[in-house]
Structure 1
């Protein structure tokens, strides 16, 4: 089985948070390109993605959007570390397609989790750090093709649906380069 793209999920017991969202979360639908949260704002919600997917974005110096992360169905979208510290978010959260989430107030969800799992903050922060550090190192040691293959292995059902421009931005390559990689991988799969 492929390693999960958002590997924090396998390192943190999220059962209580998932159950809390399913029991008490407010269903909110975000249309394509609608913001769940803006860069520079303090996080107010924890959202469990039920359908669709979201992208984490930052603005580059030229004003273009850089995709720095993704949250798929069954995953959480929130600025966890900055939300805990109550400081402005470094990234925006944007619905890439029509996306339905179950949403809870950030502080309420965190308070409930910390009562049921006293080490949750440490465990979650550590898991997120390890995931981000691994991704940073992979930018240096994996080729764009290897990064694409890792993403494709983690999300085989999504890789054909995700917007090419978003995935290329996340992989830090041009859309044309990503097209060449995809064609090469399809050819390799045909010849296997």
Structure 2
């Protein structure tokens, strides 16, 4: 299936949302909806291309529900890579061939803490595989407010692939959280790898889309506490790399809410720390 910048609706009734029944969600094009249905509709844009590539989907743009705000914030739910368990797609497929290719054909570059990998408004000329370190992805909305949209950790990929592949301007800042080392590859190098392994990369694209979609649904069906616990289970040492303020932004909650969640979990003696 190929879809480019088309608006879709994820619909569910209140009972489905309360019980978190994934199978009862339905997806429809916006043009097929009627106004009365909007009160039970979450609107989002699927802006992905049928890339035969390791990063596949460019982005998923999430809008808040119609009834929550007239000025709907547009969040880029970027596919960003992280510690091998932080994004499950890294454990659902054998990437050893791709990683070996990048190591053999890429250039090892060191980044200091706070040094940008790429910035909003810049052209993306390289992608990378993280040998050591961590990166944070952030974007600004129309009011100038910063939102953390992803993380990238050791043994995973880093970069704004959509902008890189389409030779467009990046819409996110990607900055090193600590001393990091990355194998960088150019557009021409990655193009050669994709051309030689098109069917292989198509399968990876399907895995990536599945994970992004699951993240989107989790935003509406899981409580902030449940999403926080899920992150800690995948990456119990995340606070060694990021601040509580940035993690709260990534979870789309306030720092105060995250603080209350952490105190509650600590008081209940849940083995998460």
TM range (shorter): 0.7 to 0.9
Deviations 1:28-57 (A, max 9, x none): 122222211122334221211122211111
d(CA) in 2 for partners of 1:86 and 1:77? Answer: 16
Render the CA deviation track for 1:84-111: whole Å, top value 9, x for unaligned. Answer: 2333333221112222212111330242
Say which SS state the counterpart of residue 119 (structure 1) adopts. Answer: helix
Structure 1 residues 8 and 141: alpha-carbon distance in aligned structure 2, compared to 1, 3 A threshold: same
The list of structure 1 runs, each at least 4 consecutive aligned residues, that deviate by more than 6 angstroms after superposition, is none
Check 1:109–1:12 CA distance in 2 against 1; reply closer, same or farther (3 A cut): farther
Q: Is contact 2:130–2:154 with CA below 8 Å preserved after alignment?
A: yes
In the other structure, the counterpart of 2:232 is 152
TM-score where L is the length of structure 2: 0.62
Distance 1:44 1:73, change over 3 A: same
TM-score normalised by the chain length of structure 1: 0.85
Report the 3-state secondary structure (helix = DSSP H, G, I; strand = E; otherwise coil) of the residue aligned with 1:50. Answer: strand
Deviation, 1:10, is: 3.0
- 1:70 aligned residue: 151
User: Partners in 1 of 2:110 and 2:271 — Cα distance?
Assistant: 42
Aligned counterpart in structure 2 of residue 21 of structure 1, from 95, 102, 110: 102
Aligned length: 189
Measured in 2, the distance between the counterparts of 1:45 and 1:141 equals 36
Q: Determine the structure 2 residue equivalent to 1:108.
A: 189
Alpha-carbon distance, 1:160 to partner: 4.5
Q: Is the CA contact 1:44–1:107 (under 8 Å) kept in the aligned structure 2?
A: no
Quick check: which one's helix share is greater? 1
Matches within 5 A, 1:115-130: 115=196, 117-130=197-210
Given that 2:178 and 2:241 are in contact with CA atoms closer than 8 Å, whether structure 1 keeps it comes out as: no
Which of 161, 165, 169 is the equivalent residue of 2:245?
165
Deviates more, 1:180-189 or 1:146-155: 180-189
- For the pair shown, which has the larger CA radius of gyration, 1 or 2? 2
Q: 1:190 to 1:133 in 2, by over 3 A?
A: closer
Are 2:219 and 1:139 equivalent residues in the alignment?
A: yes
Question: 1:120/1:59 Cα in 2 relative to 1: closer, same or farther (>3 Å)?
Answer: farther
Q: Highest relative contact order (Cα 8 Å, sep 6+), 1 or 2?
A: 1
Q: 2:166 aligns with which of 82, 85, 104?
A: 85
Unmatched 5+ residue regions in structure 1? none
The 10-residue stretch of structure 1 (58-67 or 81-90) with the greater mean CA deviation from structure 2: 81-90
1:178 equivalent in structure 2: 258
* In structure 1, distance between residues paired with 2:132 and 2:149: 20
Contact map agreement 1:54 1:94 (CA 8 A) in 2: yes
Contact kept in structure 2, 1:42 and 1:83, CA below 8 Å? yes
RMSD: 2.4
Preserved CA contact (<8 Å) 1:81 1:125 = no
